[in-house]
Chain A
Amino acid sequence: MLIGFDLLDRQILDRDGEPVGKVDDLELTYDDTGTPHVTALLLGQEVLGHRIGGTLGRWMAGTARRLSGSADRPPMRIPIDLIAAVDSAVNLSVHRDLLPDPPLETWLRDHLITRIPGASHES
C-alpha cells in the first residue's frame, strides 16, 4: 500500500458507513531499527492546514485551532488498529459515537442549527 496514494485524503467511514472525516495526516512512529510505521490517522482542519502550508494553510490551521476552544488540544487521532478495511474509503470497526466529536460540528449544532425549528426532523 502506498500511504500517499491509498490512505492520505481518503474519506473515513464508521462501521455503519457514516462519515467521520478525512485522513488529513498520518502519525508515524519509528521502531528500534529506525523503520517508520503508520500508527494513527490524524483528522481535522488544523492538521490539514499544516499539510497545505503557506499563508492559506496557516490561516486554516489558526482558525481551526481558535474554533476548537483550547490552543493545546491535540488533533483527533484514530489508532491504526481501528481500521477494518480500506477500499474507496477507510472503513473503521467502531461506531462514530465512540470517537471524539469534531469541535466545529458540536459548536454549530449547539449554537445555531438546533435553535432553528425542525432541526431534529427527518426531511
Chain B
Amino acid sequence: MKRIFAIALGILTAIGGFVDIGDIVANAEAGARFGIAHAWVLLVGVIGICAYAEMSGRVTAVSGRPVFDLIRERLGPRVALANLGGSLLVTVLTLGAELGGVGLALQLATSVNYLLWVPVVGFVLWVALWRAKFSVLENVFGLTGMALIVFVIAFFRLPADYGSLWQQASHPGPPTGEDWGTYWFFAVALFASALTPYEVFFFSSGAVEERWSTKDLLTSRINVFVGFPLGGLLAFAIMLSAATVFQPLSMSVDTLSQVAMPAAIALGKLGLAAVILGFFAATFGAAMETGLSAGYTVAQYLGWNWGKLRRPRDAARFHTVVLVSILVGVAILMTTIDPIQLTEYTLVFSAVALPLTYLPILVVANDRGYLGNRVNGRLANTIGVTYLIIVLAAATAAIPLMIITRMGGG
C-alpha cells in the first residue's frame, strides 16, 4: 500500500495536466469530431512532460531547490517576472475553471446549477488547503481520480470499429468536413495542456513538501514514469470512447454530461456514478494543484516561506496568495463565463510561460554545481532540446490558430 501512495504525487500532478476540466471536454470534443486522429499528440505530450518532470524531480531531489527558484536564478528577475506573470495568469484562470468543473460534476449528480456550487467548492478547497496534510490531499484525490479508468473499461464494452480507429490513428489529419486549421488548433491545445507550467511547479514543490532527497531519486522517477503515462491514458480513453460513440453519428460534444455518455451507455448507472466521482476528484485535484501552484510560484520567486509543511502562521504570505487566488477564481466564475471555454483561453497565456519554464530546467539539469554527476545524459538532452523546439513552435502557432479557427469553432 505504501508503494501505491508513494506515486500519488505523480498521479495527482498528471491529472491536473491531462484530465482537468478543459482537457476532459477537449479530448472528448476532439474524439467526436476527429476520431482518434490526435492520438499521436497525447503520446508526444506524455513523452515531453515525462522528460521535463524527470529533470525537475531530479534537480529538486538533489539540490533541494524547487523549479521556480531556478528560473529566477538562471533567467534573472526580469524574465522570471514575465514567466511569473504568464504562468500565474494561466494558473489562476485554470483554478477558476476547475472550480466550475467541480460545480459541473456536482450538477451532474444533484441537478443543482453549478454556479450555486462554485462558492461552496471554493470554500471547501480553501479549508482543504488550509488544514489538510499534503500527503492526505494527494492520496485522496490522486487515487479517487483514477475512477476515470472507467472510460477504459467502457471502451472495451462498446462495439468499436477497430479498423477505422486504427485508420484514424495511423493517418493523422482532419476527416472530411473539418479543415487543417481546426485540426492543428486542437493539436496545439492538447499538447500545451499536457505540458502546462504549473505541473512542473507543483511536482517539484510537492517533492520539497515530501522532503525528497538524493535517495528518493528512484521514487521521483517512478512517480514520473507511472503518473504521467497514466494521466495520458485516461485522456486517451476519453478521446477513444467519444470517438467510438459520437463520431459515427457526427455528433459534437460540448458539455460535461455528454462526455460521460459513453460510460453510461456501456456500463449503466454504475458506470455513470464512477464517471461523476472521477470528474469530481480530477477537477478538485486540479483545483488544488493550481491553487497551491499559485502560492508556490509567487513565494519561490520572492524567497518567502511557503508550503503545507509549515503552520499557516509561519507562511502567512504564502497562505494569503492561495486565499486570494481562490477568491479570484470564484469571482471569475461568478461572471457566468463558461468554465470550459476559460481553460481554452489560458492557452494564449501558456504560450509566454512554456518556453521560459522549460529552458531554465534544461540548463540547470546540465549544471554540475547543482547536480554533481547526476546531470542530464545524452538521451535526456536530446529529448529536452527537441521539445524546447516543439514548445516554441506550439507557442508561436497558438495565437494565430486561435484567431483563424475562432477557438476551434471554424
A42 within 8 A of B: no
Closest to B60 in A: A88
Given A11-B69, A45-B302, A105-B317, the answer on whether A119 and B78 have CB atoms closer than 8 Å is no
Report yes or no: B316 in contact with A120, Cβ–Cβ below 8 A.
no
How close is B134's CB to chain A, nearest CB, in angstroms? 8
Report yes or no: A112 in contact with B65, Cβ–Cβ below 8 A.
no
Q: Which residue among B64, B73, B131, B369 has the maximum number of chain A CB atoms within 10 Å of its CB? A: B73
Report yes or no: B313 in contact with A52, Cβ–Cβ below 8 A.
no
How far is A58 from B130 in the complex, measured between Cα atoms in Å? 33
How close is A89's CB to chain B, nearest CB, in angstroms? 7
A65 within 8 A of B: no
Chain A residues, CB < 8 A from B316: 105, 108-109, 112-114
Q: Which residue among A9, A12, A114, A118 has the maximum number of chain B CB atoms within 10 Å of its CB? A: A9
Q: Mark A12-30, 1 if CB is under 8 A from B, else 0.
A: 1000011111101000000
Report yes or no: A11 in contact with B81, Cβ–Cβ below 8 A.
no
Given A11-B65, A45-B302, A108-B320, the answer on whether A123 and B81 have CB atoms closer than 8 Å is no
Given A105-B316, A123-B131, the answer on whether A9 and B64 have CB atoms closer than 8 Å is no
How far is A51 from B302 in the complex, measured between Cα atoms in Å? 13
B304 within 8 A of A: yes
Q: Which residue among B69, B77, B305 has the maximum number of chain A CB atoms within 10 Å of its CB? A: B77
How close is B351's CB to chain A, nearest CB, in angstroms? 20
B173 within 8 A of A: no
How close is A7's CB to chain B, nearest CB, in angstroms? 10
How far is A89 from B64 in the complex, measured between Cα atoms in Å? 9
Report yes or no: B303 in contact with A51, Cβ–Cβ below 8 A.
no
How close is B39's CB to chain A, nearest CB, in angstroms? 40
Give chain B's interface residue range (CB within 8 Å of chain A): 20 to 34
Given A109-B316, A120-B313, the answer on whether A11 and B303 have CB atoms closer than 8 Å is yes
How far is A120 from B81 in the complex, measured between Cα atoms in Å? 32
A116 within 8 A of B: yes
Report yes or no: B303 in contact with A19, Cβ–Cβ below 8 A.
yes
A99 within 8 A of B: no
Given A9-B76, A9-B77, A19-B303, the answer on whether A121 and B311 have CB atoms closer than 8 Å is yes
Query: Which of B126-143 touch A at CB < 8 Å?
Result: 130-134
Q: Mark A98-115, 1 if CB is under 8 A from B, else 0.
A: 000010110011001110
Report yes or no: B77 in contact with A10, Cβ–Cβ below 8 A.
no
How far is A97 from B302 in the complex, measured between Cα atoms in Å? 19
Which B residues contact A (CB, under 8 angstroms)?
A: 63-65, 69, 72-73, 76-78, 80-81, 130-134, 302-306, 308, 311-313, 316-317, 319-320, 369-370
Which A residues contact B (CB, under 8 angstroms)?
A: 9-12, 17-22, 24, 43, 45, 48, 51-52, 56, 87-89, 102, 104-105, 108-109, 112-114, 116, 118-123
Can you offer 16 A-B residue contacts whose CB atoms are under 8 A? Answer: A9-B77, A10-B73, A19-B303, A19-B305, A21-B303, A21-B304, A24-B303, A45-B302, A48-B77, A102-B317, A105-B305, A112-B316, A119-B312, A123-B131, A123-B134, A123-B308
Given contacts A52-B81, A89-B64, A109-B316, 11 further A-B contacts (CB under 8 A): A9-B73, A9-B76, A9-B77, A9-B80, A43-B303, A88-B370, A105-B304, A113-B312, A114-B313, A116-B130, A120-B311
